[in-house]
Amino acid sequence: MISSSKNRIQCIANQSFGWLVMLLFLLALHPSASAQRVYKPEEVPNVQLQDSTRLVTDEAGLLSQAQEEAMNRQLRAIRSTHGVEFAVVTLPSIGDAGLEDFSLALARHWGIGKEKHKNGLLLLLVLDIRRVRFETGYGLEGYLPDGRLSRIIHDDMIPHFRSGNYAEGLSEGVQAVQQVLDGTYDVKPDGSDS
């Protein structure tokens, strides 16, 4: 009797250990459980320094190569048509840093926009905190005030982010900025942006 009880206990212990090993293995495969690199503004690679045609830094890995190239084309068109130096950055994590302070520090560190015109624009998405922010140079604030950019984030980008389609949300945000600069962004009858 004691021998069969010991065998049962041993069998249960082996099964429990097997389940524990399986659970730990599955947790290790889950993206949120794996260690993510935490960036500081000075550590974010500025891809424009190696190739002036690249304006997207996708460290979070949210874009396919084709999506990244399409976005680079959009950003180059905005630069050539409107003179706006626009960069898009995705990061997996910025740790405990505040998003506003981080985006401002990154824009300054990179020197986005010409000093004379202050025509820089940064779109930053941080994946682990699921937050996105535009950082606007003073020269663009008349065209792209905070309220309009906030509406672009909430109306054009976040619906795609909620469904996990970050690439489409980022693309919609860039397209909405281009429409604002072109003067074609829809305005509701009450005067608010659509």
Below-50 pLDDT ranges, the chain: 11, 13, 20-21, 23-27, 29-34, 189-191, 194
What b-and-e string marks burial along 104-119, b requiring 16 or more CB atoms within 10 Å of the CB? bbbbeebebbeeeeeb
Residue 93: per-residue pLDDT = 97
Dihedral pair phi/psi, residue 123, rounded to 5°: -115, 115
State the pLDDT at residue 116.
Answer: 72
Task: State residue 2's pLDDT score.
Answer: 55
Closest C-alpha among 105, 80, 110 to residue 94: 105
Q: CA 131, CA 125: separation in Å to the nearest integer?
A: 6
pTM above the 0.85 mark?
Answer: no
Tokens in use for 12? Answer: 């249960």
Instruction: List the Cα angle 171/175/178 in 5-degree steps.
Output: 145
Q: What is the pLDDT of residue 186?
A: 76
Judged by phi (left if over 0) then psi (alpha if -120 to 50, else beta), residue 23 lies in alpha
